Amino acid sequence: MWKDLLLEHRSKETLNALFFFALLLLFVFQFTLGPDRERLAGALPGLLWLGFILSGLLGLGRAFVVERENDCWEALLLAPGDKSAIYVGKLAGNLLLMFIVEAMLLVLFGVFFNLDLVPALPALVVVIGLGTVGFAAIGTLFAAMTTQVRARELLFPVLLLPVQVPVLLATVKATEAVLLGEPLGAVAHWLKLLAAADVVYVAVGVLTFDFVLEG
């Protein structure tokens, strides 16, 4: 994991591109929805998560590209000890990357759409945190699987998106409530579902990653 973070820190390759991508997304949202503020406010939770998901797909899809391009896949396979450590490391790296991108997106949304997100921020952080863990947990697992497959850029989102429906529904609903100024208690059932999904996804990821990295 430290290697990935170090690499990312040195090159800033993915992060720069993702930042630019996030900016472009905002443009697209603005152009497709028009200047109507009411409509924008109504669609905001969905737009926010659309931004997270799209940039997450791009970011996570690249999670194992470094290994493939530099022929280090075999090294990963040969790595001594528990393979699930590699999974946890990759997951942590991906989480950090996604959190940074999400923070940037939040700021961009606030600035460009002239929104005051600050009062809802603590609750928003909880929702986004829970949702991102679930997304990244399965995303990391699938990224490892699709790295070695034909048409991987296509297959990765095609596999990941249907599986992420529960997380998506829960986060969008919870974000909507939070942005309307409701307390977290009002959406406790969604948060519980997210927490359950996180636990299940991470557990399945840790348990099955061994099999993905076999050959």
Residues engaged in binding other proteins (CB under 8 A):
138, 141-142, 145, 148-151, 155, 158-159, 162-163, 165-166, 169-170, 173, 189-190, 193, 196-197, 200-201, 204, 208, 211-212, 214-215
Give the nearer residue to other proteins in terms of CB position, either 84 or 208.
208
CA 148 from centroid of its chain's CA atoms:
21
Distances from the Cα of 70 to the Cαs of 85, 123, 209, in angstroms?
21, 41, 21
Distance between CA 163 and CA 39 in Å, rounded? Answer: 29
Minimum distance, C-beta of residue 46 to other proteins, in the bound complex (Å): 13
**Terminal Cα distance for the chain, rounded:** 21
- Whichever of 95 and 202 has its CB closer to other proteins, that residue is 202
- For residue 101, the minimal CB distance to other proteins (Å) is 24
CB of 16 or CB of 148, closer to other proteins: 148
Q: Count Cβ atoms below 10 Å from residue 96 Cβ, excluding itself.
A: 15
Contacts of 142 (CB under 8 A, 6+ apart): 156, 159, 160, 163
Closest approach, Cβ 18 to other proteins, in A, equals 25
Rounded least distance, CB 34 to other proteins, Å: 25
* 96 vs 163, beta carbon nearer other proteins: 163
The DSSP code for 72 is -
Nearest approach, Cβ of 112 to other proteins (angstroms)?
29
CA 15 vs. chain centroid, Å, equals 13
Between 58 and 202, CB nearer to other proteins: 202
What's the longest Cα–Cα distance across the chain? 57
Task: Provide, rounded to whole angstroms, the least separation between the CB of residue 25 and other proteins.
Answer: 24
Residue nearer to other proteins on the CB measure, 35 or 215: 215
Name residues whose C-beta falls within 8 Å of residue 152's C-beta, 6 or more positions apart in sequence. 61, 146
C-alpha distances (whole Å) from 41 to each of 36, 48, 68, 107, 154 are: 9, 11, 42, 16, 32
